[in-house]
Structure 1
Amino acid sequence: MRDGADPKAALRPGLPDHYLAPREIAALLTVPLETVYAWRKERTGPPGFRIGKHLRYDPAAVHAWINSLTEADRDAA
């Protein structure tokens, strides 16, 4: 890639421009950051992945996880 080029332009079509950090998940869902980490530990939250020591979430996976929760609530009613 040449200097000054937009690194996002190198991403394959279909990849998000931005993966979400745990702090962004907490802000998005208005929950404490500790809750996001607890979900990860208990494997009850959105699926995340590590890039080195950094935890990230695919926005599409977060959206799918939220949809699964709303569907489960709807089915329970």
Structure 2
Amino acid sequence: MSRPRPVQTDPRATLRGDLPDRYLTPVDIATMFEVPLETVYQWRKKRTGPPGFRVGKHVRYDPADVRAYVVQQRQADADAA
């Protein structure tokens, strides 16, 4: 008997709704912000994007940190206006 495949959710929904119950990948971040993957890597290198962390050789992002980053960016944008 085959097992049902898990439903893949749209990573952009993280910014609009509930947080996913998994750490996000750089591809998820690129999809969420609709930017090239290379931009995500540059953000990490320059420490300008959402904070990530390493798990072995892989970079992951905590959804709570990504949400906090978005809130911070929106506030900074509102303050500049």
Q: TM-score range by the shorter chain?
A: 0.7 to 0.9
Stretches of structure 2 that go unaligned for 5 or more consecutive residues are 1-19
What is the SS of the residue equivalent to 2:54? strand
Percentage identity across paired residues of the two chains: 65
- 4+ residue segments displaced more than 3 Å: none
Stretches of structure 1 that go unaligned for 5 or more consecutive residues are 1-15
Distance 1:66 1:33 in 2: 18
Residue 27 of structure 1 is matched in structure 2 by 31
What is the SS of the residue equivalent to 1:55? strand
Which of 37, 42, 50 lines up with 2:46 in the alignment?
A: 42
Cα RMSD after superposing both structures = 0.9
Structure 1-normalised TM-score?
Answer: 0.78
Distance 2:70 2:21 in 1: 20
Q: How many residues align?
A: 62
Structure 2-normalised TM-score?
Answer: 0.74
